[in-house]
Chain A
């Protein structure tokens, strides 16, 4: 067991290094000189040269990468070009909000996905199955940013039940009720994709177990109780759990669009802001932090998977 976990942790290191290389490269993908984003276009050449030297941008790329990596490893993601504050502090504040949204969206999406998928599988081919499958395919086909706008139109503009935005003003010292009211619409918009994906996966997974010999034997014997259902669910669980881990990661990293629609002060909103202010250190910081979370999450899912299903450990 431990050898598997250690091996898995060990393989995570090159992945993380790869992530840092990609994030570092982002600076050079940006059109023009990285400096041009920092100084006004009419800045004298000597000043540009000075900043270049100060930031070490005149050194060869591998040297620059190494310097940047050492700083990052010490928790220094640089300062935001826009606010001049350390990137890490800004991200820390925003990440909590994104996490909150991701957890509530995951809760809604996963619960609905499991319920719909299981029902569909047990009633395969009947109308319940058809409805569930239609809901699932709609869920994965809907552009969630558009759903966010639709929800605002219906529940905020027309019915005036829930606030469309304004989470910023309420954050800190706000009551749980206000928070929930602000969270509901973006969570629903975000929950659609995981709901669809999980429904399809649960349906396929349960169906496969239902057709296995041991279930067929039990059913042939006339046994069809909660115990059998429990065995079916337990056997169908591992691939679904893996997918849930992935989907949760997608929620953390993919909430940019929904956060923009609802002006939700999370990491996605920060990312969007960074892009428009051409604040590359902020862009790099947010992406690095989110990708690191995603790698750790995948690692945990793999380890959890091996705990549930010991066959994994031998491969």
Chain B
């Protein structure tokens, strides 16, 4: 992308004699600190994650306990700031607890796919020849499916459950990460310092361990970070279809599904779980955009 030229730190911030370049990670960190949007996004993500982790301490009510008499209280009801759901359960508590499952089902698949995809991609890129052929042709097959369809197909066949959602989404995200990993590895492999390392007697694993990882990790990581927001939307989407978390568990997509019928009674409470999904995916998108710029990666 032809973005504006990269920000470089002013000379007085650089240590050592004039002209000494900053180390890569220091430079990335410096750039990130200049980027207010990314910092804000990171802070919001931190809040969402903390509120999910600390849900048992923060939630004012038991998320599973409802009362028929208190069904569908509007937003702003005393004691129930965000209202109650169709079974009279406190929305705020359920949204806090919901984050636990939604975040797990959204982030885990990307982590698993990152591990599996980068291993296969780096292997394919480094070994070349038939290993490359075999791995990449298998990955190509998965490209024949639109990602939403593949996710629904696999989790539809596996049946409902958060575990199955994670399996399905991991399978969906592995091929694109493998492709990116393979292409950067193949590129890096052609560079001259690799030749030099090989000529000076470094073995295959030494080269993979020292040179490849360092030069390949940044782009793969940035690419994987762009997938988190999609993953969160898809994971909640699968729950929305009834394929993810099962009632009475609190999960944003599932809450959206069960509250959907109530829009004619209480219009705005059913909107809330969607706001959480949107907020989370939006901030992850902003964060990954910021990371891409700071790490100076072109995808």
Q: Chain A interface: which of B17-25, B136-144, B192-200, B206-214?
A: B136-144
Contact assessment for B264 and A157 in the assembled complex, using a CB-CB cutoff below 8 Å = yes
Q: Chain A interface: which of B59-67, B88-96, B148-156, B182-190?
A: B148-156
Q: Interface code B236-278, partner A: CB below 8 Å = 1, 0 otherwise?
A: 1100111100000000000010001001100110110110011
Interface size class of B (residues with CB under 8 A): 35 or more
- Tell me whether B1 is interfacial, beta carbon within 8 Å: yes
Contact assessment for B146 and A254 in the assembled complex, using a CB-CB cutoff below 8 Å = yes
Contact assessment for A140 and B285 in the assembled complex, using a CB-CB cutoff below 8 Å = yes
Q: Which residues of A contact B270 (CB under 8 A)?
A: 149, 153
Q: How far is the CA of A230 from the CA of B158 in the complex (A)?
A: 51
Q: How far is the CA of A23 from the CA of B147 in the complex (A)?
A: 14
Contact assessment for A252 and B229 in the assembled complex, using a CB-CB cutoff below 8 Å = no
Contact assessment for A29 and B157 in the assembled complex, using a CB-CB cutoff below 8 Å = yes
Closest chain-A Cβ to B140's Cβ sits at a distance in Å of 6
Q: Which of B2, B137, B154, B274 has the most CB of A within 10 A?
A: B2
Q: How far is the CA of A27 from the CA of B156 in the complex (A)?
A: 10
Q: How far is the CA of A253 from the CA of B142 in the complex (A)?
A: 14
Contact assessment for A283 and B281 in the assembled complex, using a CB-CB cutoff below 8 Å = no
- Tell me whether A135 is interfacial, beta carbon within 8 Å: no
Q: In the A-B complex, list the 7 residue pairs whose CB atoms are closest, starting with the nearest.
A: A146-B274, A18-B141, A253-B146, A254-B148, A253-B149, A141-B282, A275-B156
Contact assessment for A140 and B146 in the assembled complex, using a CB-CB cutoff below 8 Å = no
Q: Which residues of A contact B158 (CB under 8 A)?
A: 29-31
**A/B interface sample: 21 pairs, CB < 8 A:** A31-B159, A140-B285, A143-B278, A143-B281, A145-B240, A146-B256, A146-B273, A149-B271, A150-B271, A153-B270, A204-B2, A207-B1, A208-B1, A208-B2, A210-B2, A211-B2, A256-B241, A274-B156, A290-B146, A291-B146, A298-B144
Q: Which residues of A contact B282 (CB under 8 A)?
A: 137-138, 141
- Tell me whether A276 is interfacial, beta carbon within 8 Å: yes
Contact assessment for B236 and A143 in the assembled complex, using a CB-CB cutoff below 8 Å = yes
Q: A141-B278, A287-B149 are in contact. List 8 more A-B contacts (CB 8 A).
A: A31-B159, A141-B282, A145-B256, A146-B256, A149-B271, A257-B241, A260-B240, A283-B157
Q: How far is the CA of A125 from the CA of B2 in the complex (A)?
A: 12
- Tell me whether A158 is interfacial, beta carbon within 8 Å: yes
Q: How many positions in chain A have a CB within 8 Å of any CB in the partner chain?
A: 58
Contact assessment for A256 and B2 in the assembled complex, using a CB-CB cutoff below 8 Å = no
Q: How far is the CA of A127 from the CA of B277 in the complex (A)?
A: 27
Contact assessment for B274 and A249 in the assembled complex, using a CB-CB cutoff below 8 Å = no
> With A29-B154, A149-B271, A290-B146 as given contacts, are A143 and B141 in contact (CB-CB < 8 Å)?
no
- Tell me whether A107 is interfacial, beta carbon within 8 Å: no
CB < 8 Å neighbour of B144 from A16, A124, A147, A152: A16
Across the two chains, which residue of chain B brings its CB closest to A260?
B241
- Tell me whether B122 is interfacial, beta carbon within 8 Å: no
Closest chain-B Cβ to A247's Cβ sits at a distance in Å of 10
Closest chain-A Cβ to B263's Cβ sits at a distance in Å of 5
Q: How far is the CA of A254 from the CA of B146 in the complex (A)?
A: 7
Across the two chains, which residue of chain A brings its CB closest to B275?
A146
Q: Which residues of B contact A211 (CB under 8 A)?
A: 2
- Tell me whether B29 is interfacial, beta carbon within 8 Å: no
- Tell me whether A108 is interfacial, beta carbon within 8 Å: no
Q: Which residues of B contact A137 (CB under 8 A)?
A: 282, 285-286, 289
- Tell me whether A240 is interfacial, beta carbon within 8 Å: no
- Tell me whether B55 is interfacial, beta carbon within 8 Å: no
Contact assessment for B278 and A146 in the assembled complex, using a CB-CB cutoff below 8 Å = yes
- Tell me whether A295 is interfacial, beta carbon within 8 Å: yes
Q: Which residues of A contact B137 (CB under 8 A)?
A: 14
B76-119 contacts to A (CB < 8 Å)? none
Closest chain-B Cβ to A190's Cβ sits at a distance in Å of 11
Closest chain-A Cβ to B70's Cβ sits at a distance in Å of 22
Closest chain-A Cβ to B251's Cβ sits at a distance in Å of 13
CB < 8 Å neighbour of B148 from A153, A250, A280, A295: A250
> With A22-B141, A204-B1 as given contacts, are A257 and B148 in contact (CB-CB < 8 Å)?
yes
Q: Which residues of A contact B291 (CB under 8 A)?
A: none
